[in-house]
Amino acid sequence: MNSRQVSRTKILVRYVVIVAGIIILGLAVPKVFSFIGEVALSPYHTARQWVLNSGSSLPQYLRDRSVLIEQIEDLKKEVATEKGTELSMRKLINENASLRELLATDGSDRIAARVIARPNSLPYDLIQIDQGSKDGIVRLAPVFLGRDQVIGYITHVSREYSFVQLVTTPGFASTVFIVGPDIYTNAEGMGGGVMRVRVPQGVSLKKGNLVLLPAVNSGVYGEIISVEAIPTQPQQYGYLSPNIPLQSMRYVAVGTEPIVTPTFEEVQNVITSKLESLFVVVVPEDQLVDETSTSSATSTEENE
């Protein structure tokens, strides 16, 4: 019994010594590591204080260089901001000019609209505009790009927006008048923003021939951009598309009345009117010199 008690006492003493050693080690190690860290980082802190506060040449150079770098970054930000502002102003000026051109028409009302969806987010040859029935948009109203280039018609109207079907839609048929050979013929949509006319080989069809859609007043569509003529075939093809790619269309103008199919006599009147005004350009009043402005300019010069 005595030997067993002695062995238990020894085991208990060992456990106490081990626990005490662990406690002492746990208390001492952080202080040791803290001391080692202070010793290791002391050169860094000393060097940092020297760079920040010393009056020597090298620390002053480093401090001045840091300040100059910050100033350069600030100037870069200011220049970038000014460029962004200038680009925004140019964008607004261009948009204003586009809107003025859209609404600068004679004898007909137009509603300016922004294009909010186009291919590829919509089926090709279909665009969506941000004006709807609440803004006066009606179904089958003509849609114009620029001053008088008709590109399609309103096919669906909701309260807040509308859809425009382009005349280049596959299967879309229309009567056109080609200036140059001065002929009426039929045109068909080919898709992808392209329309095609088909005429006999003997017709003088050339690139640049103006094409009118007489079913719409002021209905200029565009110019022939390419001609396909194979001598062995009895007919030749002319291809035309809007002068602005679909992806670049931002604004359009919409007529306030739906398209009504005219008689041939009315079509001839439209063609005659367009041919007579082909060389007439809308010029701002402050830039146009006519009889009135000439006399006023002369009187002004005489007074000077």
Q: Is 214 exposed, middle or buried (0-12, 13-18, 19+ CB in 10 A)?
A: buried
Q: The domain spanning residue 188 has which CATH number?
A: 2.40.10.340
Give the pTM. Answer: 0.56
**pLDDT for 300 beyond 60:** no
Distance (Å) of CA 133 to CA 109, 154, 231: 16, 11, 51
Is the same domain home to 216 and 115?
yes
Nearest to 220 by CA among 133, 148, 123, 131: 148
Provide CB contacts within 8 A for 63, sequence distance 6+. 51, 52
**pLDDT for 166 beyond 80:** yes
Q: Is 194 exposed, middle or buried (0-12, 13-18, 19+ CB in 10 A)?
A: middle
Q: Which residue has the higher pLDDT, 280 or 137?
A: 137
Is the same domain home to 129 and 224?
yes
Q: For residue 240, tell me if it sits in a domain.
A: yes
Q: For residue 83, tell me if it sits in a domain.
A: no
Range ranked top by mean pLDDT from 201-205, 217-221, 246-250, 289-293: 201-205
Q: What percent of the chain is predicted at pLDDT more than 90?
A: 20
Is the same domain home to 132 and 35?
no
Is the same domain home to 141 and 251?
yes
Q: For residue 182, tell me if it sits in a domain.
A: yes
125: containing domain: 110-276
In the chain, the number of structural domains is 2
Is the same domain home to 169 and 266?
yes
Q: What are 66-123's pLDDT values in tens digits?
A: 777 887 888 877 777 776 666 656 655 565 555 555 555 544 578 889 899 887 778 7
Q: What are 42-74's pLDDT values in tens digits?
A: 776 776 776 667 767 776 776 677 777 887 888
Is the same domain home to 48 and 193?
no
Q: What are 207-224's pLDDT values in tens digits?
A: 989 888 887 765 677 889
Round to whole Å and give the CA distance between 59 and 213.
78
Is the same domain home to 232 and 155?
yes
Q: For residue 177, tell me if it sits in a domain.
A: yes
Is the same domain home to 47 and 187?
no
